[in-house]
Amino acid sequence: MQDSRKTRNGSAPRHATGARTRPAPRERIGIVGLGIMGGSMARALLAAGHEVAGYDIDAGRMRALKKAGGLAMPSVAAVARSADALITALPSAGALHQVAALLEKVPPPRPGQILLETSTLPLGDKLEVARALRAQGRVMLDAPISGTAHPRPQENWIMYLSGPASACRQAREWVGAFTLDAPRVGVLGSGTKLKLAANHLVAILNVACAEMVAMCRHMGLDPAVALRHMGNSPYIGTGLMRLRMPMMLERRYQPASMKVGIWQKDMQIIADMARQVNCPTPLLNASAGVYSAAMAMGLAEHDTAATAEAWAAMPALPGARRARRAGKRT
């Protein structure tokens, strides 16, 4: 999540300024995976004047694409044949490998067809697929997104482009339709590394907000007061706090901007990377149990803000009730 329309160095992002000297070329973009993120990309690209050809195994998502003005294609192969560039927004590494295998049977319509891989997946799998796509005559960019479901992703999402500089420049001509900014952050794989670092922080901050809400309630303080006075603080306020604390206050977690069940996958990827690079993560490890508790409570399809329910279900500390009663008597 970004707290303003400015990049880290304080300057306005290129997409937001209209600084291009010529309009972006209108391309046909193929999207494989039309879930929360892929569907948002499709709608934003269509609104910007691009053609979108998409495929998803879910028939409802295909109908939604068609209703928005996109082309619902019968297969991954049909998408690849018809598109100038491709986007994948997939739920698992297995799905990405399957898409790569299907693309092997479809020569790119032009040399160097770009495939923008936006999913949060293990880095090893992405690099393996990138090698396979290179052999097919395609160029994969590792380009995960920092941001959650939003009706106007171009005001909210940051895409971490990584890969060949020339391909990143080409992609920037049209990813501005659904991103606030899309900097090139380094060589292939740098995007995933940065996204894992971002999600590591998000995982901890989300649980910290949930714990703070629980503490307010235990103290008899309305947590809405905490949000009102902290949410916009330049010191401790965050976009995550402003997004998820209202859900925690209302105890309403649907529709989800990020589901607990999907977030479990991201947490595992981060933990695996930490083990690979021998980095201790005690705060992440502590927060993981809260997400697991939310899963056990049947909240897999709810927003990750539902971690507040895990705190609400925890028993009070021994003697806490007696201490509160004694405080009321005095």
Task: Name the pLDDT band for 330 (thresholds 50, 70, 90).
Answer: very low
Mean pLDDT of 280-290: 96
User: At a CB cut-off of 8 Å and minimum separation 6, what does 122 contact?
Assistant: 93, 269, 272, 273
Q: Among the residues of the chain, which ranges form H helices?
A: 14-17, 36-47, 59-68, 76-82, 93-103, 123-136, 165-175, 190-219, 223-230, 239-250, 260-276, 282-296, 307-312, 320-329
Q: What is the pLDDT of residues 291-308, one digit of tens each?
A: 999 999 999 999 999 999
In this predicted structure, what is the pLDDT of residue 234?
94
Q: Could you tell me the pLDDT band of residue 6, with boundaries at 50, 70 and 90?
A: very low
CA distance 9 to 141: 24
pLDDT, tens digit, 9 for 90 and up, residues 306-327: 999 999 998 876 765 544 454 4
**DSSP codes of every residue in 29-88:** EEEE--SHHHHHHHHHHHHTT-EEEEE-S-HHHHHHHHHHT-EE-SSHHHHHHH-SEEEE
Rounded to an integer, what distance in angstroms lies between the CA atom of residue 131 and that of residue 137? 10
For the segment 229-262, what is each residue's pLDDT rounded down to a tens digit? 999 999 999 999 999 999 999 999 999 989 999 9
Mind giving me the DSSP string for 154-185?
GGT-EE-EES-HHHHHHHHHHHTTT-SB--EE
Separation between Cα atoms, residue 159 and residue 181, nearest integer Å? 6
> What's the CA gap between 318 and 233, in Å, rounded?
34
CA–CA separation, 217 and 17 (whole Å): 43
User: Left, alpha or beta for 137 (phi > 0: left; psi -120 to 50: alpha)?
Assistant: left
| Pick from 310, 306, 214, 314: nearest CA to 251 | 306
| Per-residue pLDDT, 294 | 96
Burial class (CB in 10 A: 0-12, 13-18, 19+), 316: exposed
Tell me the whole-structure pTM to 2 decimals. 0.85
| Range in 23-37, 59-73, 96-110, 277-291 the model is least confident about | 23-37
**The pLDDT of residue 151:** 82
Share of the chain above pLDDT 70, in %: 88
Q: Could you tell me the domains of the chain?
A: 14-18+26-187 (3.40.50.720), 193-315 (1.10.1040.10)
Q: How far apart are CA 297 and CA 120, in angstroms?
A: 25
Which phi-psi region, left, alpha or beta, contains residue 235 (left: φ > 0; alpha: ψ -120 to 50)?
Answer: alpha
